[in-house]
Copies of this chain bind each other. A is one copy, B any other.
């Protein structure tokens, strides 16, 4: 009977987690796998910032860890016993094995990986959930284009470094935000960012502005807080912001009543996957014929109706506008000049 060590959540952290919030338990486990299950010897465990959110007892996009429960997380390991025809002992697999030596998982939740082609821990990082996060985040806002300026925080992490390299390959100028000179050097030298700015620098906002002389076209948001505040004034028209994470706020216990309104709304954008899109109709007039083609026939048939509030006389135009702004008109406000 193998011995399984596992970390459980002992207490919900207040602010930064402390060692006492975790408890290591040891117990004997059965070395076999029931029907449709696989027993995996975990070899590598992924640690990710979102785990901090799951330690709070609050609704978020991931369910909270229960007290006393094994902490969850993605793992790479080898099958040691299989109750499924799809796996045999010795297979290298990825799954949500958690913070423990052995995991018993449903076979359908486990995927085989090829650790010879790409080194095993990379399947938890650049080739796994974090790398895919970078790729899908860019895709969801229409990608980044040649000549644009791209900015990402936590730039040496697996999400930021992948997003930066994808943006650079697309021809963008890439600016990294990272904590400390060592990480900034890593961002430039290993990951190829054009510039790297230390967010701990007292002149951070000024240096970020200097690194983005043409403004920011795509800000990949995984930080929030002071970094976001420094980014906002630099955004260009039509800037896109995939909101991927807000690590600056993760150590806040639950939703703090005193959080800034900006932090609150960004948290809602993230957790509820909101999609906000400012638009000005004049940018889109090329599609006006499409609108007419679809809607004019419906108007002709009376299936869509309109209403004009017609004010007579050019001399009454100012008063009509004053009323319009006060909400006193109904329907479309039009001045008949004669």
Chain A positions near chain B (C-beta within 8 angstroms): 5, 7, 16-19, 21-22, 24, 42-49, 51-52, 61, 71, 99-101, 117-118, 121-122, 124-127, 129-133, 135-137, 139-142, 154, 156-158, 161-162, 165-166, 169, 179, 182-183, 186, 190-191, 232, 235-244, 247, 250-251, 260-262, 265, 268-281, 283-285, 287-288, 291-292, 294-296, 298-300, 303-308, 310, 314-315, 317-322, 324-327, 329-338
Residue contact B326 to A125, C-beta cutoff 8 Å: no
List B contacts of A318 (CB < 8 A).
7, 17, 19, 21-22
Supplied contacts A162-B304, A235-B274, A239-B275, 4 more A-B pairs, CB within 8 Å = A21-B318, A44-B310, A125-B332, A235-B272
Nearest-CB distance from A158 to chain B (Å)?
4
Do B237 and A306 touch across chains, with their CB atoms under 8 A apart? no
The copy count of this chain in the complex is: 2
A16: chain B residues within 8 A (beta carbon): 322, 325-326
What residues of chain B lie closer than 8 Å to A283, measured between beta carbons?
Answer: 273
* Chain B residue at minimal CB-CB distance from A156: B330
Check A291–B179 contact: CB distance below 8 A: no
B295 pairs with A135, CB closer than 8 A:
yes
Distance of A221 Cα from B307 Cα, bound (Å): 21
